[in-house]
Amino acid sequence: MNPFLDALALNAGYNAALVGIGAAMLGFAAGAAGTFLFLRKRALVSDAVAHATLPGVGLAFILMVALGGDGRNLIGLLLGSAATAGIGLLLVEWIARRTRLSEDAAIGAVLSVFFGFGIVLLTVVQTMSAGRQAGLEGFLLGSTAGMLFQDAVVIAVGGALAVFATWLLRRPMTLVAFDPDYAAALGYNVRRIDLAMMGLVMAVTVIGLKLVGLILIVAMLIIPPVTARFWTESSAYVIWYAGLIGGVSGYVGAALSTTAPAMPTGPIIVLVAASLFLMSLFVAPARGVAAAVIRHRRFQRRVHRRQGLLALSRAEPIHDDFTLRVLRGEGLIRPDGVATANGRALAAKTARDEHRWDIAREIHQDAGLTGRYDGLTPIEQVFTPDEIAEFDRRIGGPRALGSSLGGTA
């Protein structure tokens, strides 16, 4: 069997299965938890949080060795990283609130300084005599080679808790993401909810450190929500879509990475998520590029159709190629450019509706209804039949046309 399918069916060995399940759960948790940060337009806060975990890893290692323990105890390292990530988070919030620096400057400052300090600590760790320090660099880009059952359990439990907390807090977080002032007026503590939002992201970051590393976990927090947003306009669904996209990316990415050597899991997962994003960018209904192009073409077609019909009604020659194509395609003119019976009828109706609009503007001098005139909205959608009947009474009603198509004067 194909190794990729093997891996997808969890048949590629114990470690691969563990990594696959872990990556799927991590992806789901990251996608769900990252959603509100994205909706709050603060996606890059996760970048600061992720980079701020590094000094915690170093400090925890040094501390645990100094206390005579095993420096590589995963729980200890994760607690340390959570501590500094939390400090980083509070600092971003404090700088943005307390000084006149904007939030992006605060994010950049915290991420670079904490990361720099983390690197300093890593060089300290490298020179320590403990000898078991190898592997701390794995937190930068993640390493799945030595994934233990214990690691998978940490991800599973932590991820489930994060998703559960996201679900519990979804209402206040939605409110704060869309309208913080209204949330404050309702009595919610916006700052605390913001902190909870970022705290969830921090939790996911910390549990994802081992698997995808601190630089790429940012991608797991940002790309799935952005992708999910293409597919729905409802904040209730976007969390689950984001979780699903993250989970699928994690699972497929982990499976792909087992198919060949030198395929690091973290980057592959990110690239799978990115290709889902790219696909959504183009083919998503309503928000996708393809949909926008189709919408634009339709609009163009309607404009050309109307211009063409008006020209027919005034017996003016049509020179525009696209207009001719549109009219010919609908059988409104013959190939030699002469209007068909159908075309003459529609042209007359278009001209009459234009005239109705003129009358409507005389009657309704406020722009409330007549302001909706854009040449494309049918008048029947704006005015009621009896109003239109009144316009027609003033025009004098449609008359049979003689040799001239000019019509209504």
Task: Tell me which residues touch other proteins (CB under 8 A).
Answer: 38, 41-44, 46-47, 94-95, 98-102, 104-105, 107-109, 111-120, 122-124, 127, 137, 140-141, 215-216, 218-219, 222-223, 225-226, 229-230, 262-264, 266-268, 270-271, 274, 277, 281, 287, 289
Nearer to other proteins, 262 or 409 (CB): 262
Q: Of 157 and 289, which CB lies nearer to other proteins in the complex structure?
A: 289
Quickly count: other Cβ atoms within 10 Å of residue 359's Cβ.
Answer: 16
Q: Which residues 6+ apart lie within 8 Å of 398 measured at CB? A: 348, 352, 392, 408
Residue by residue, DSSP assigns 104-135 as HHHHHHHHHHHHHHHHHHHHHHHTSTTS--TT
Nearer to other proteins by Cβ, of 152 and 222: the residue is 222
Nearer to other proteins, 140 or 360 (CB): 140
| Angstrom distance (rounded) from CA 108 to CA 96 | 11
Please state the closest distance from residue 247 (CB atom) to other proteins, in A.
18
Q: Which of 227, 205, 210 is CA-nearest to residue 30? A: 205
CB nearer to other proteins: give 270 or 333.
Answer: 270
* Nearer residue to other proteins within complex by CB, 132 or 399: 132
Nearest approach, Cβ of residue 191 and other proteins (Å): 11
Phi/psi class of residue 235: alpha, beta or left (left: φ > 0; alpha: ψ in -120 to 50)?
alpha
The pairs formed by 116-120 with CB atoms below 8 angstroms and a separation of 24 or more are 117/54, 117/55, 118/51, 118/53, 118/54, 118/55, 118/56, 118/57, 118/58, 118/84, 119/54, 120/58
Taking the C-alpha atoms of residue 78 and residue 60, their distance in angstroms, rounded to an integer, is 8
In the complex, minimum distance from the CB of residue 18 to other proteins, in angstroms, rounded to a whole number = 21
Q: How far is the CB of 284 from other proteins (least distance, A)?
A: 9
**Least separation, in Å, of the C-beta of 199 and other proteins?**
19
User: Which of 274, 275, 163, 158 shows the shortest CA–CA distance to 216?
Assistant: 274
Query: Minimum distance between the CB of residue 108 and other proteins, rounded to whole angstroms?
Result: 4
Least distance from other proteins to the Cβ atom of residue 110, Å: 8
Q: Among residues 135 and 407, whose Cβ is nearest to other proteins? A: 135
Residue in the block written with tokens 């994010």: 107
The structure tokens 């307390």 sit at 98
